[in-house]
Each structure stands twice: as C-alpha cells, then as structure tokens.
Structure 1
C-alpha cells in the first residue's frame, strides 16, 4: 500500500475490510460483557500478539533473544512487567524495527503529539478498521448510526488559494459520508459560502478538535444561527468549560469525547451516563505511578489490534488523575479513567488577526527530526526550533523547512513570517515537558 494512500482509499480499506463485520460483532458482544470476560479476551489476544511480535518484529525478536524471557512466559496481564517499557525515543530513532508486516502493507502516520518529539508509526487496514468499529460503537451509545454523515473539522480542508479565490471551502471524501473542513479556514472563508456548503451536506454529527469546532460554533452564534446535530465528537485537545458551553448552544447535541494517540496504543472515551471509560477490548492499559507526583499515573498501552506494528507496553507520556470510585451507571465492564492531561497549546494569531487552532499541527508531519517546536513571537511571526535526528544532514533540515513552510502557507495562510533555528535541545517548560507550540514575546 503506498504511504500516500488518499483519504478515500484509506476509508474504503477501513469500512470494506473483510474482517470488519466480525470486528463489529466482537465489539458488540464485549460492550456488555463482565470485567472477567473482557480480561479473558485481553489475555487471549496478548498471548497471540506476543508470540507474533517475537517471531516477526525485528525489535521484539532481538529483545527476546537477548533476555531470559520466552514469549510463552507472557500469558496474563500480571506477566506484562516481564517486558520492557517502550518510549517515544524508541520510535524517533528507527520505528521500522517494530514492523511485523512488509512496508508496502502499512501506511505511516507522524506527529509531535504533546511532547514535541516527532514520531513515525505505522497502521494496517485491519487496525484502522478495528479502531473505526470501536469508535462507531461509542457513537452508537449516543444514537449516532455507523453510516452517519459527519462534518470533520481538523487540519485537512481547502487549499488557501482556493479559499482566497472564492473556491470551495470544504471537501467531501468520496464514499465516506464525511465532509472535511479545515479549522484554519473557518475564519478566512466567506461565512455565507462556508455555511451553505455545510448545510448542503446536512451532517448528522460534527467531529474534530474542540478549538476548531468552537470556531464554527462561534461563527454560527454570531450570525444568530445554529446547526443541530445528533452529537459533537471531540478529540486531540483538552476541552474547556467555555468551549463545551458554546458547542451545546450551537449544535444542541451531547459532546462525545475520546482520548487516543498517534501511536494508537490505547483508547478511551465518554459514555452516555457521563463516565469516561478505557476501551479495554481495544488495548491493555497500565497506569504506572509517576515519581514525585501524588495521584498522577502515566498511561502505558499495549494495543490488541495492530499486528503490522506491534507496540508492547508503550509509555505515552500522558498523565492521568484518579478515576471516580465505584461502577459507572452505564453498567459496562470497562475500567473508568480519570482526567487526562492531554494536548494543550497556546492560542496563535495570524498576520491578519485570525485565531489559529491547534497550531502545532504545522510541525506534526516533519521528517528526520528528533524534536520540533513552533513559537509565536508576534501575530504572524513565528520561529520553528529543530533538533536533527541521528545522522541527519543539511538535506534533512532543508526538507523539514520546506514541509513547515508548505504547512504554514496551507493552514495559516499567506503573509506569515517564519524563521528557523537549529538547536541541540529545545528548552522545556516549568513542568519539564517540551510543548509543540508556544507563544513568546519577541526578543
């Protein structure tokens, strides 16, 4: 499969996967299974996954050969600590070592996530189909059917030049029942044309970044309009109470939030009773104590679906607080999860005064870098800090600059000033984290 597979092809591979009906049946059965039944499912998958990884993945094959552990020793959840913890650094330098499928059968995904360390991971059609089935099951808890028409507001939308020239603001994915709108286009498009395209599509649900969904909600409310839908599906960002209030006013629908990562090592989300659950049939999730932090645990995931790129005990770097006590009123056997300290970025402003949602997106796709950060020094003036990966030369840095400039032009629009700095290490915040996007005062 080419790494540049278009969205329409990726959608067909997800929805038309021959195992998709069986996946949906399994997930429907486990939706109301007991905790013990879910655990038994996890352990069966774990045993098979460990054997597979030890046989087919170069990294895991080498690790088992070098340590006094046999794949047969990992049989239950209690055996997981026999395996090493994986971290982003293991993927920054050589993600291909984890591949268990031929490269042509997977597609890559890149992100700087919440850490600023750029990672490349790989997905298979089967893992993508399983994730979609898990998410559709969650949406179904709120009355959203699998074939719902969804307005997706993220980064991928119309080209900036099309918007400026009065061309289409949105783009429909053929056969996917999905309309794409860039969160960056909401403020620079003609409002009447934008809303006409959205209403002509007649979405059943709105999904995407909270900041981008809120931008459209603000536009609607400023014009005295609303866009009632069945659900507002959110991810990728920490949501504020003010954003939730705006969404409720504009869309008159419940907010369905889910937590995940580019690495796809665990998945969690809200239920109709207001709980926040781990999807325990998607991944095995460990919560490990954080040294020096009271009532804070790091999320460590072992996904049970991505056979082409098995990651065992991957430490996400995301921290979570204590979960509510007692069972959830929804009655499901899935574990409850506390509040996740997810991706939060400073608000950026373009040269012409537009708000720029989730600005770290412009550095998510760069290649060959160990760390990357974009800083706003003034409205429309930015500096991109880059730390090269091992062996990266001038060609890698030139390609990274070109990728960033193209992304800034596409998402932020023309007229921005972008400078670059090559560093040995990017300074951390007071919390010790490298943030992918920050606002600073120019020196």
Structure 2
C-alpha cells in the first residue's frame, strides 16, 4: 500500500478516515488519566500480544527465538523485555523485509538517512499511522488546537518543482496547505502569505528550519500571522528559532520528537515538560559511556503491528530532565533535551536556501552509509558506502531525480562510491554538510 508520488496527502486522508480513530482517541484519554502502575500494566499487555505475533510471523524474530531458546511466552513484563536483543540501525539496512508481519501491499514504506547517514527502509500500517495522528492531536489539544485542525505544512513539499506560480498546494479534504520549503524566497512570500491568510490555519507545522525561514521572510516585510500553535519536529531547534517563530506567529511552539522507525515519541506539554508518550511505545535509556549524564534512546513501539521492532537503538541521545515530575499532573516520564538531527542548510545555484537537505538521500536504498555535501552553492556531492543490496545505476538515477525534484534544475551533482565516509572528531556522521565557502546571493 505504498502510495507513489502523493504519499503525504494520501496517507493523511487514510489516517484521518480510519474507522478506529474514535476508539483510539477514547483509549488515549484513558492513558492520560492513568497512574504510573496502570500505564505499565497497559504496556505489558500490548507487549505480550506483539511478541507472540512477531515470533509467529516475522522471519527475523522467528529465526531469533528458534536460535536463542527464549520462549516468546516468557516475555510478559517490562523487565522481561531485556531478554530480547538490541536492534541496530544496520539490521534495517541489511534485512528490512525480514521484520515484516503483514504483506508489503498492506503497508507503505518510509525511508530515512536519520542522524547517522545510514539509509534505512521501514514499513507502517494504516492503523499505525492513524494512531500516531491521534497521539499528536492529543498533544496539540493541550494547547487549544482542535482535532481536525487546519494546518500549514512546511516539510519539503517537492510538489512545487512540478508546477509554476505560487509554491503552495491545498490537500483536498486533508485540511492542509502545503508550502514548499525549497521555494521560499522574498519574491514568493506575498503570494504565500495571501494563500495562508485565505486558508485561515489553526497551526503552522513542519521543520524548524523551514518555519523559521518563512518567519524571517515575514518579519523582514513587517508581517505576522496569528495562529494557535507552531508545531515542530525532525530537527534540533535553536533558542533563536523558537523565539522568532513564536513572535511572528504569535503562538506557543509545540515540539515533539520521533523517528522514521516510529519506535518512540515524546513531546512538550502545556506546562513546559518534555514527556515520553508511553501509549506509543516502551522507552529505555542506555547510559552512554564517557559523557556527562547522557543516555541513548532505545524504543519498542506498541502500535505498528505490521513491522514489529523490539529494543531498537535510535542513536539519538538525551540529557536529564530538569525535574522529576511535571505540574501538568500526567504520569508520563520526563526526558531532557534530545540530541537529534542537525543539518547544515544548503544553498541552491540561484541563491535559494535549502532546509534539511538530507531529504535528497533519505530513500537511497541499498547504501550502508550515505552523505550529501555542498561544495559550493548549487554544487553537491553524494558519498555512498554500498550495502548488500546496492544497485549503482538505480541509486544514481534516483539521486539525480531527487536532486532535480527537491532542489530544482540547474544544480551540479557528483556521486562518489567509498569504502568509508570520514567522520568528524565527534565520531558521528552527519548526513548533510557544507564544506565549501558560502556565497551571498544576489538578494543580499
């Protein structure tokens, strides 16, 4: 069920119309009122069902349980979860199909290079997607954003490469106005602003870098748009970006954290706490050696029955929470700042800013590691370490299509195959880097 082309709009319509959405909202309200002990019991009940399903139908887990001698029925409590192996990102690079429980036609694929530069493929069910939307709508409701809200979306939106005129698109029936992150310029802002005001959104949602770019362009024109909330995810946000977005849109910023693998989710509440959402998944924090208290996030999702992952190491790290409890009164665990995805902003050949540029390489399947570098404005290099399923011709063709579709025509691209991509002193591979000197555009 992987919808081609218009994945975002089709997925959104499916998840909004899912017949179990009312039941999901009712269940989530119960989790919000539950005690810590009741939350643990609910998690364990779902865990038992999911482990037995995976042991029976997933080739990866069927093989693992048979080899390990662990009886799936022995996994009953949160403590028992530790009997299962930790999954690495490399497991999804090499064997993504072996985790599937449902036929591929009943799910859609998702791709990411994440924070590690290792391109992975995962699958998700329509029910999982609808549940995720319900989780997010619950969080947004804490800030007065209604269910079924009208939202301006800035998450890449490659549709604008295939049309002329205003870089916006209304999703039919989806109550969403897409604004292309890759086509925001001083010249396009008046038309974009008119479209947003006509749409009358409850919220602006997307990548912090894209929303902040729009906010800066509006501020430069002396304009502002009042909404109920600015909803952010996918990137680490700077204090300056948060302040700018809150000022221009006259609204609180609601951040949430997740991953393409959908193994755990966390987000801000109306009292300022950053909470783990326990109905979404089970979260473990593994100590990171050699750091002042810092933990790696490990997640076990409780919603994606078609693609079960247990104890998946995200590679993202988190610091300690400022407080042990939150004045909001919810029994959801608190975590500190997440060290997630940080990318350098790129510049197109015509001077346009290009936020979150690693989207160009997110779906390059078969690459063990991949990185895109800007050598100069409009001049880019994709570096690839091939994996077991690597097809050089198909990967190069896809990379060039992605670059043209997302960044626009007129860019220069070189593709290099390497045995390893050099790491910075931190040891963490960034999926997108700027290595050449910046060039000021004609717009100044």
- The alignment's TM-score, normalised by the length of structure 2, stands at 0.95
Q: Deviations over 1:100-127 (max 9, x none)?
A: 0011101000010111000000000010
Q: Does the CA-based 8 Å contact 1:347-1:358 persist in structure 2?
A: yes
Distance in structure 1 (CA, Å) of the matches to 2:131 and 2:420:
38
Q: Which residue of 1 is the match for residue 440 of structure 2? A: none
Map of 2:408 onto structure 1: 413
The residue number in structure 2 matching 1:37 is: 38
Secondary structure of residue in 1 paired with 2:333? coil
Contact 2:153 2:176 in 1 (8 A): yes
Asked if 1:264 corresponds to 2:265, the answer is: no
Tell me how far apart the structure 2 counterparts of residues 186 and 220 of structure 1 sit (CA, whole Å).
11
1:7/1:347 Cα in 2 relative to 1: closer, same or farther (>3 Å)?
closer
In structure 2, the partner of 1:109 is: 110
Question: Hey, what's the Cα distance between the residues in 2 that align with 1:191 and 1:315?
Answer: 41
Is there any run of 5+ residues in structure 1 with no aligned partner, and where? none
Query: How far apart, in 1, do the equivalents of 2:99 and 2:65 lie?
Result: 13
Contact 1:110 1:262 in 2 (8 A): yes
* CA-CA distance at 1:391 after TM superposition: 4.6
- Whether contact under 8 Å (2:154, 2:180) holds in the other structure is yes
What CA distance in whole angstroms lies between the structure 1 residues aligned with 2:256 and 2:389?
37
1:91 corresponds to: 92
Measure the CA separation in 2 of the matches of 1:221 and 1:77: 49
Which residue in the other structure is 2:49 paired with?
48
Further displaced range: 32-41 or 135-144: 32-41
Partner of residue 355, structure 2: 357
Residue 56 of structure 2 is aligned to residue 58 of structure 1: no
Q: CA deviation at 1:414?
A: 2.2
SS in 2 for 1:184: helix
Aligned to 1:204: 202
Aligned-residue RMSD, C-alpha: 1.4
Q: Write out per-residue CA displacement over residues 137-196 of structure 1, whole angstroms, 9 at most, x where no aligned residue.
A: 000000000111000001114433524xxx241111111101111211112752222222
1:287 corresponding residue in structure 2:
285
- d(CA) in 1 for partners of 2:395, 2:169: 27
Q: Which residue of 2 aligns with 1:318?
A: 316
Shift of 1:33: 1.3
Inter-partner Cα distance in structure 2 for 1:122 and 1:8: 17
Contact 2:264 2:283 in 1 (8 A): yes
After TM superposition, the structure 1 = structure 2 runs for residues 269-418 of structure 1, keeping only pairs within 5 Å, are 269-392=267-390, 396-418=391-413
CA displacement at 1:135 relative to structure 2 = 0.3
**Contact kept? 1:350, 1:356, Cα under 8 Å:** yes
Structure 1 position 63, deviation (Å): 0.5
Q: Cα offset for 1:13?
A: 2.1
* Alpha-carbon distance between aligned partners in 2 of 1:9 and 1:315, rounded to the nearest angstrom: 30
TM-score (norm 1): 0.96
- Aligned residues of 1:157 and 1:180 also touching (Cα < 8 A): no
Residue 136 (structure 1) shift: 0.3
Query: 289-298 or 140-149, which moves further after superposition?
Result: 289-298
Deviations 1:28-72 (A, max 9, x none): 111121111111111111111111111111111110011121111
Counterpart position of 2:442: none
Contact residue 289 and residue 297 of structure 1 kept, 8 A: yes
Aligned residue pairs: how many? 436
Alpha-carbon distance between aligned partners in 2 of 1:354 and 1:15, rounded to the nearest angstrom: 34
Distance 1:42 1:23 in 2: 15
Residue 231 of structure 2 is aligned to residue 233 of structure 1: yes
Q: Partners in 2 of 1:192 and 1:206 — Cα distance?
A: 17
> In 2, are the aligned partners of 1:157 and 1:171 still within 8 Å (CA)?
no
What is the distance in 2 between the residues matched to 1:231 and 1:159? 25
**Contact 2:166/2:188 (CA < 8 Å) preserved in 1?**
no
Aligned residue for 1:191?
Answer: 189
Take 2:197 and 2:323, find their aligned partners in 1: how far apart are those partners?
Answer: 43
CA contact (8 A) 2:206 2:232 kept: yes
d(CA) in 2 for partners of 1:291, 1:272: 33
SS in 1 for 2:154: strand
**Cα offset, 1:280, TM superposition:** 0.7
Separation in structure 2 between the aligned mates of residue 127 and residue 391 of structure 1, nearest angstrom? 27
Contact 2:137 2:147 survives alignment (8 Å)? yes
